Chain A
Amino acid sequence: MPLSPQRDGTDDGYEAAWAAISEWIEGDGSWSGRERNLCYVNNRDGTFADISAASGLDFIEDGRSFASGDLDGDGDLDLVIKSRNSPGLRIVRNDWPASRSATVRLRGRESNRDGIGAEVRVRAGGLEIRRTVRAGSGFLSQHAKDLHFGLGGRSRAEELRVRWPSGTEQVFPGFPAGKQVTVVEGSGELRLKELTAGRKGGGLDGAATDRIGETTGERRTGTWLVEPLPAPAWTLKALDGSTQTLDQYRGSALLLNIWASWCPPCRAELRDLQHGLGRLGESGVSVAAVSVDEAAAEDAVRAIVGAEGLSFPVLLADVRFRAAYTTLVRSLLARRTELGIPTSLLLDGEGMIEKVYLGRVTADQVASDAGHIGESAASRLARALPFPGRFFESRPARDYTRLGAELLEVGVPDLSVPYLRKAIQQRPSLSSAHYDLGTAYAATAQLEAARISFETAISLSPKHAQAHNSLGVVLGTMGRHGDAAERFRSALAANPSYSKAIANLATALERAGNAAAAADTLERGVRANPRDTGLANRLGSLLARTGDLTQAETWFKEALARSGEDPETLTNLALLEAQRGNLNAAKDQLLRLIDNHEGNAPVRMALARVQIASGDIEGARETLVELVGREPAHEPARQLLESIGK
């Protein structure tokens, strides 16, 4: 049973693929991009022909929607095209040297006034054209409600029939081409209006077709956040040897600059900040610059700080800072953005991030921006919005759930807690946020808080197998093995093939003193999950602990048959040999394993134990010294080393 439950993502490759693809396109990935819009001309024989390029409508941007209507009143259909990327909007005038047309406009009386749903049939020469007034067609578009009738060179339509939604049918004897015809429901008269002659010329050239990726060329400096969020906490070593925390800066605004010694614009920016330090001070802004250099580059950092005469604190990023701020920056803008340098964050006196500068910022800009901190929520929103407008039914809201979950995943569970709590504040019924929060608490050994969070997650989502499993782990860690076993059983009820829960149930049963039930659980799990590779090894270990070496060996071999060269199982098999008294054979096996799996600490621990058992204390000491050298934090190895030292 792992002491701190890992956040169990789904094992499902399908969901994982979805998550990854989302991330790909939310970042910079292209996917079926640069496809050209298509135009098919009707061959009037049931077939169509591609004329995309000849028509000039083969635009390359990511088209989404288009609406048609006679924008210039000349009797043909013009187009308005809406695309995902630039150019986001095109108005395209129809210059087709085509024959004359007519437009029919309906006015409902008994029917809805727009005549939506009315069907109009126009007969001209051999043609009978049927059209319906619609409101919503294609994708996300609505065309003009005036109906367009191309008459194919005929100078007149011979008949016009309207069937209104009310059921009323009207028949008219016809009208000349080149007219806008208005039909009022129930009125026997057609109102005719002349269509204008449209302008032509200035057709599309190829370059216009491939106008893609244009931007306004305007760049605003930095991004005000609609909704400030807390900056992740840190405790960092400063160049002067002191230790600083983010909390120390509370009470005044802070420009948190992220830089590195190998980044020339960063250095220029720091120089400017140093020059402007007085102005920044007057505006109430402190500056702290965190270098994300590798530890070995401390001298390079020191050299720049000295050469530039930087008088504000310069701090050295640690693993936690990198993890937290990389994750934070990914979440700040709508486009997933990797942390690049320089990046700066403007924090208020409460440690809330107000503004983000990706790229260089000047002291003047920061001093000016700091003047806006603390303004009303309405002013803040106005600054964060590119254009004025009004939210009617929705409000901007940050996705704290995702940020929290991602901080958890990158190994800083304590830093995820504030965001997960905000997520829960926003949506108290969000089971996954409670689950993540429980995981964060468990990872930081706050067992009681973890228990409560997992229980809440379960109450909101009773079949949440992972939450049951994690709660079981917490209870088990608290020593409540019976309660833990119940939870693992619930996890299995929700997901019978959940092998972690099977393993955990067995551990709980064994710790509660019921080794037989534990073995039974594992054996059933092994048989029910023929592709699982861990349970058989666990079963072998359990049987070995109970002294049934023969059965243990059987299951270890089963585990190997399933997993191939699994070092853990091979280690167990070696320990089994040792148990049987074949100490030398065991040692040989373990040494071979170390050759193949150099970094594997459990193998070295096992070897040390076997060496001690065989009286080779010197060998054991060597093994353990090597292990501690590789993993200084390996407590069991230290303890064992100490005990044999005596």
Chain B
Amino acid sequence: MAGGQSRAARPVAVRPILAVCASALLWLTPWARAEPASERFPLPDASRPGRPIDRLAEKAAASGDSYPAEAAAEELHASLRSLGEAFRSGDIGAAAILADELLGRPPGRPGREPTVVGLERWKAQAAELPALDRDRFLAQIGHTVSKFDRIRVAEFHITEVAVGTADSGQQAKTQVHFELTGPTSSDGRAQMVGDWSMAWAKSGGSWEVREWHWDRTAWASAEQALFADITEEALGKNASYRQQLLPGVDEWRSSTDAALGIDVFGHHGVSVGDVDGDGDADLYISQPSGLPNRLLRNDGDLQFTDVTDVSGTGALDSTSMSVIADVDNDGDQDLVLVGASTPMLFRNDGTGRYQIAPGAFRFAGPSRAQLTSAAMADYDRDGNLDLYVCAYRHQGAGSAHGPPAPYHDANNGPANTLFRNRGDGTFEDVTQTSGVDHNNRRFSFAASWGDFDSDGWPDLYVANDFGRNNLYRNQGDGTFSDVAASAGVEDIGAGMSVAWLDHDLDGRLDLYVGNMWSSAGQRITGEPAFAPAGGAGLLASYRRHAKGNSLFRGVTGGSFEDVSELSGTAAGRWAWSSDALDLNGDGYDEIYIANGYITNSDTQDL
């Protein structure tokens, strides 16, 4: 399998638990890459020195793969891809993987979903009839999907796999999450998603589907478009849009000196605020090191003008996030940038022109922390806005701290910082004295303020990668205590984002936390061979790491219950920003999730 060009070469199994099974690295593909930009020829492998990854891959190949069902899952996934082809071609029966003796249970009678204006929806369980033979079953399925004019996307995730051996050969059972999407006959947008259970047998070296049950099927379609991508018309007149904002970081990484420091991760966000005081929403776009951040002024009628240069906000410093707020209460919107190593305050002169206020933020001690994000609130209610800043790792080579350890509960990260606004244009570091230094050596991605106990004092939730999160309860006297454990929101996992909401309009704040959902991770941590030294508790932690986003419902007494599965909001993939907003104006918040880690020229990874 090592070095293969087949689908088996994708690093799927490494994703969720990269650190726990280095052996999975054996699936990493070789590095040969066609250089699209210019005709360049790679040197033969023998004539170039190896990289760390080559050596590790060799080692991994030698040690072999310890997850046998995972090998089967790779093969089954490849088989499902041919099924995807069949769905897209409009002739499901053409899929060679469907056995002649296939027995299937199509979706049963559709039940209506709660009415949502603009959407047609239904949901069905598997029909409770005896399983149908191949022809009748396929006819039924053909009918089920006939509301699509055609199927454009057919994607599958194997969430569970069990492999066994019978006299006739290898057999497998899988749970598959499926997604079929495409236009309707009237050019609407439609999707059918749900879960299948499938039974497979290996026959003549390839897998065949013997049983196919449509356990859960949900249809949604919109005949009228719900959203329009207006980027071109809104920004197209600005040269910076096409030249700088449209390309991704990879293009810049391929054409700029490494010393500029444009990294692969692309952690640069976006803020909405009214920088010129004309009442409409302007945009500030954070950019990597060496590329100027961009300020886009709303001219009305969805036209934006790039006013970066005239506003003085084209910082080249690597910026992960910006906060637009009236920091000095003088009636205009100032700008705080989260730079790699320090926040920066830019004050608005009232006309939308900005000047940096040097030294506005001073850390109490020397810090080499790499900052990720910030959240603002007046935690001591003195009328001045304070700033909490998250840090993710220690900067610079040769860090003595090493990678996050232990993986499931890393506690060797840098400290986050709480800056108190002194009201004189400077911020003091009150991390130590305010109590937020407790449990504060994490790998923090995001924080948000919310008064979860409704006592009038803003509390703070912090999402940490590789471990448990913090809920700092504001005690009303300038200090905080971490109550994440007692409130039930430690949420051990790959914490990436924080959103406060009231999803059920019961008046109590709920919490939606971005994490990582990985079908491969769920499979592997479900395998008997996956047993980290450390027992059941640790195993649960690893499983939790692949389980996905968390929705915590606020209940009385300032605590929360985990309704992630119940509410159907867990499967956010490799989620970055997961946030809540009322998109359809019914008063209830929807959830939107921006996800996906790194897409590159290696197309094997899906």
Q: In the bound complex, do residue B152 and residue A342 qualify as a contact, i.e. CB atoms below 8 Å apart?
A: no
Kindly state whether residue B540 has any CB partner on chain A within 8 Å. no
| Chain A residues, CB < 8 A from B283 | 67, 80
| A64 in contact with B323 given A35-B595, A40-B568, A139-B576 (CB within 8 Å) | no
Given contacts A41-B116, A41-B584, A84-B266, contact A15 B302 (CB under 8 A): no
Chain A 276-291 interface residues, beta-carbon cutoff 8 Å to B: none
- Tell me, rounded to whole Å, the shortest Cβ–Cβ distance linking A499 to chain B: 18
The interface stretch among B10-18, B130-138, B412-420, B484-492 is B10-18
| B240 neighbours in A (Cβ, 8 Å) | 387
- CB <8 Å contact, B280 and A30: no
Is A197 an interface position by the 8 A CB rule? no
B231 touches A91 (CB 8 A): yes
B356 interface hit (Cβ, 8 Å): yes
Question: B469 within 8 Å of A by Cβ?
Answer: no
Q: Which of B308, B445, B606 contacts A34 (CB 8 A)?
A: B606
Query: A73, A80, A135, A330: which contacts B376 (Cβ < 8 A)?
Result: A135
Contact B596 A98 (CB under 8 A): no
CB neighbours of B448 from chain A (8 A) = 134, 136-138
Complex Cα–Cα for A93 and B232 (A): 12
On whether A203 and B11 interact (CB within 8 A), knowing A84-B266, A111-B383, the answer reads no
Flag whether A523 is at the interface (Cβ < 8 A).
no
Binds B, one of A237-245, A320-328, A545-553, A573-581: A320-328
On whether the beta carbons of B316 and A391 are closer than 8 Å, the reply is: yes
Does residue B496 face the partner (Cβ distance < 8 Å to A)?
Answer: yes
- Are B272 and A85 in touch, CB under 8 angstroms? no
- Write out, one digit per residue, whether chain B residues 338-373 have a CB within 8 A of any chain A CB (1) or not (0): 011110100000000000100000000000000011
Residues of B within 8 A of A385 (CB): 260, 290, 316
Tell me whether B272 and A144 are in contact (CB under 8 A).
yes
In the complex, A87 has a CB within 8 A of chain B: yes
Interface status of A343 (Cβ within 8 A of chain B):
yes
Nearest Cβ distance between residue A35 and chain B, in whole angstroms?
Answer: 4
Q: Could you tell me if B584 and A150 are in contact, using CB atoms closer than 8 angstroms?
A: yes
Tell whether A91 pairs with B22 under 8 Å between CB atoms, given A30-B602, A42-B503. no
B247 at the interface (CB under 8 A from A): yes
Q: B566–A216 contact, CB under 8 A?
A: no
B450 neighbours in A (Cβ, 8 Å): 132, 134
CB distance from A12 to the nearest CB of B (A): 8
Whether a CB of chain B sits under 8 angstroms from the CB of A359 is yes
- Pick out which of these stretches binds chain A: B48-56, B70-78, B91-99: B48-56
For residue A63, which residue of chain B has the nearest CB? Answer: B594
Which residues of the partner chain B approach A94 to less than 8 Å between Cβ atoms? 226-227, 583
Cβ contact within 8 Å between A79 and B567: no
Query: Which residues of A have CB within 8 Å of B322?
Result: 142
Asked if residues B231 and A89 are in contact (CB atoms below 8 Å), the reply is yes
Report the Cα distance A313→B604, complex, angstroms.
44
Within 8 A of A (CB), among B202-251: 218, 220-222, 224-231, 234-235, 240-251
- Judge whether B269 is part of the interface by a CB distance below 8 angstroms: yes
- Chain B nearest CB: distance from A372 CB in Å? 15
Q: Is the CB of B226 within 8 A of A134?
A: no
Chain A residues with CB below 8 A from B576, complex form? 63-65, 139-140
Tell me if A24 counts as interface (CB < 8 A to partner B). Answer: yes
Q: Is the CB of A335 within 8 A of B15?
A: no
Whole-angstrom distance between the Cβ of A89 and the nearest chain B Cβ = 4
Residues 108-153 of A contacting B (Cβ, < 8 Å): 108, 110-114, 116-117, 119, 121, 124, 127-130, 132, 134-146, 148-153
Quick check: A73 and B280 within 8 Å, CB to CB?
yes
B227–A203 touching, CB < 8 Å: yes
Q: What residue of chain A has the Cβ atom nearest to residue B118's Cβ?
A: A97
Name A404's closest neighbour in chain B (CB-CB).
B397
Cβ of B536 < 8 Å from any Cβ of A? Answer: no
Question: Quick one: given A152-B587, A335-B254, are A54 and B226 in contact (CB under 8 Å)?
Answer: yes
Check: B113 CB closer than 8 A to any chain A CB.
yes
Residues of A within 8 A of B504 (CB): 46
Question: Contacts A48-B567, A218-B243 known; A322 to B48 CB distance under 8 Å?
Answer: yes
* Interface flag for B599 (CB, 8 Å): yes
The CA-CA distance from A76 to B226 in the complex, in Å, is: 12
Binary contact track B489-520/A, C-beta < 8 Å → 1, others 0: 00000001111101111010100001000100
Q: Are A44 and B605 in contact (CB under 8 A)?
A: no
B253 to chain A, nearest CB (A): 4
Q: Is the CB of B378 within 8 A of A98?
A: no
Residues in B whose Cβ lies below 8 Å from that of A230: none
Whether the pair B500, A137 counts as a contact (CB closer than 8 A) is yes
CA distance A343 to B41 in the complex (A): 10
* Contact indicator B594/A66 (Cβ below 8 Å): yes
Shortest CB–CB separation between residue B8 and chain A, in angstroms? 15
Q: Is the Cβ of A98 less than 8 Å from the Cβ of B117?
A: yes
Q: How far is the CB of A537 from chain B (nearest CB, A)?
A: 22
Q: A234–B272 Cα gap in the complex (Å)?
A: 54
0 or 1 for each of B543-580: is its CB under 8 Å from A? (1 = yes): 00000000001000000000100111101111011110
Instruction: Say yes or no for A433: interface residue by CB 8 A criterion.
Output: yes
Which residues of B236-284 are within 8 A (CB) of A?
240-273, 280-281, 283
How far does the Cβ of B554 sit from chain A's closest Cβ, in whole Å?
Answer: 11
Which residue among B246, B301, B309, B451 has the maximum number of chain A CB atoms within 10 Å of its CB? B246
A127→B227 contact, CB < 8 A: no
CA distance A390 to B182 in the complex (A): 46
User: What mask results when residues 143 to 163 of chain B are scored 1 for a CB within 8 Å of chain A, else 0?
Assistant: 000000000110100000000
Bound Cα distance from A206 to B252, whole angstroms: 27
- Whether A141 pairs with B269 at a CB distance below 8 angstroms is yes
**What 1/0 mask marks residues of chain A from 31 to 47 whose CB sits below 8 Å from any chain B CB?**
11111111111111111
A window 1-59: CB within 8 A of B: 13-21, 23-58
CB-contact partner of B22 in A17, A46, A144, A423, under 8 A: A17
Q: A89-B231, A391-B316 are in contact. Are A40 and B259 (CB under 8 A)?
A: no
How far apart are the CA atoms of A389 and B244 in the complex, in Å? Answer: 13
**B336 nearest CB across to chain A (Å):** 9
Is B470's CB within 8 Å of the partner chain A? no
Q: Which of B51, B121, B566, B571 has the most CB of A within 10 A?
A: B51
Indicate whether A95 reaches chain B with its CB closer than 8 angstroms.
yes
Contacts of A218 in B (CB 8 A): 243
B106 at interface, CB cutoff 8 A: no
Q: A334-B256, A386-B256 are in contact. Are A165 and B594 (CB under 8 A)?
A: no
Bound together, the chains give a CA A127 to CA B596 distance in angstroms of 35
Cα of A45 to Cα of B566 in the assembled complex, Å? 11
Smallest beta-carbon distance A397→chain B, Å: 6
Name the contact of B326 in the complex, choosing from A114, A138, A338, A409 (C-beta under 8 A).
A114
Minimal Cβ-Cβ distance residue in B for A341: B41
Q: Are A98 and B585 in contact (CB-based, < 8 A)?
A: yes
Contacts of B228 on A, CB cut-off 8 Å? 92-93, 95, 200-204
| A-binding segment of B32-40, B82-90, B164-172, B430-438 | B32-40
* Across-interface contacts of A82 in B (CB, < 8 A): 268-270, 285-286, 594
Docked pose: A93 CA to B152 CA in angstroms: 24
Q: Mark B301-335, 1 if CB is under 8 A from A, else 0.
A: 11010001100001111101111111001110100
A310 to chain B, nearest CB (A): 19
Assuming the contacts A49-B220, A218-B243, A430-B398, asked whether A326 and B49 have C-beta atoms less than 8 A apart, the reply is: yes
Say yes or no: is A481 at the interface (Cβ < 8 Å to chain B): no
Q: Pick the most buried of B117, B304, B344, B377: most chain A CB atoms within 10 A of its CB.
A: B377
Q: Which residues of B contact A206 (CB under 8 A)?
A: 152-153, 181-183, 189
Identify 21 residue pairs between A and B in the complex whose beta-carbon atoms are under 8 Å apart, listed by A's number: A48-B569, A63-B595, A81-B270, A88-B247, A90-B229, A114-B325, A136-B448, A137-B448, A143-B272, A214-B247, A215-B251, A223-B256, A330-B51, A334-B261, A335-B254, A338-B33, A358-B38, A359-B38, A386-B290, A396-B257, A401-B397
For the complex with contacts A23-B52, A35-B596, 12 further pairs of A-B residues with Cβ separation under 8 Å are A20-B56, A37-B592, A44-B586, A51-B191, A52-B191, A55-B222, A84-B266, A96-B117, A266-B41, A391-B316, A394-B317, A396-B257
5 residue pairs, one from A and one from B, having the closest CB atoms? A203-B225, A140-B269, A359-B38, A63-B594, A84-B266
